[in-house]
Amino acid sequence: MDKGKITVFSGDGKGKTAAALGIALDAAADGKTVVVIQFLKGKGLAEAEFCKRMEPEIKIFRFEKSDVDFDDRPSHQQESDVSSIRNSLGFARKVLATGECDILILDEVLGVIDNNIISVSELCDLVDHRGGTEVIFTGRVMNDELCAFVDEISQISTVYFKKFDP
């Protein structure tokens, strides 16, 4: 069996998650299933009523308890959330091992590496068991070690930003 493609959306611009979710919507329209696991994002999408309506084709999970972005959490809360993040990566491993979906999106997983919660080799080991499942990573900082392991990288940057003031 061919290995599923690994795609990365990285950079300092806005739209990385939106790009990944666009792929998810296209896949769902084609009758495929998608699992999204969000990391480090505070409230995230998992609780959004709209997202629940996309099930069963698109399922969104978030294991962290805080509604605040990871970098804005106190250090004691960050330490306790590391366990939840590691559990969510275990869940991702199970999803890949069982072939539960056609596409797995690990939203902000590059930030998990950047925060030294997991190593590049741990992430590579996780997705090495993907079988035919396509995997998408998002995050701000693309680790050079990861470049050799992925099939496609899209760099999203902000060229111009004008603050909207009503």
Query: Which residue range(s) make up the domain with 103?
Result: 6-155
Number of compact structural domains in the chain: 1
- CA 136 vs CA 55, 71, 76, 84, 161: distances in Å: 19, 22, 30, 20, 26
State which residues of the chain have pLDDT below 70. Answer: 1, 42-51, 64-71, 73-74, 78, 166
Does some domain include residue 162?
Answer: no
Is the whole model's pTM more than 0.85, yes or no? yes
- Residue 163 included in any domain: no
pLDDT at residue number 46: 53
Question: Does the residue 119 lie in any domain?
Answer: yes
CB 60 within 8 A of CB 38: yes
- Residue 45 in any domain: the answer is yes
Could you read off the pLDDT of 48-66 as tens digits, one per residue? 666 677 778 899 888 766 6
- Asked whether residue 165 is domain-assigned, the answer is no
* CATH number of the domain bearing residue 36: 3.40.50.300
Lookup: tokens for 156: 């999203």
Tell me what pLDDT residue 47 has: 55
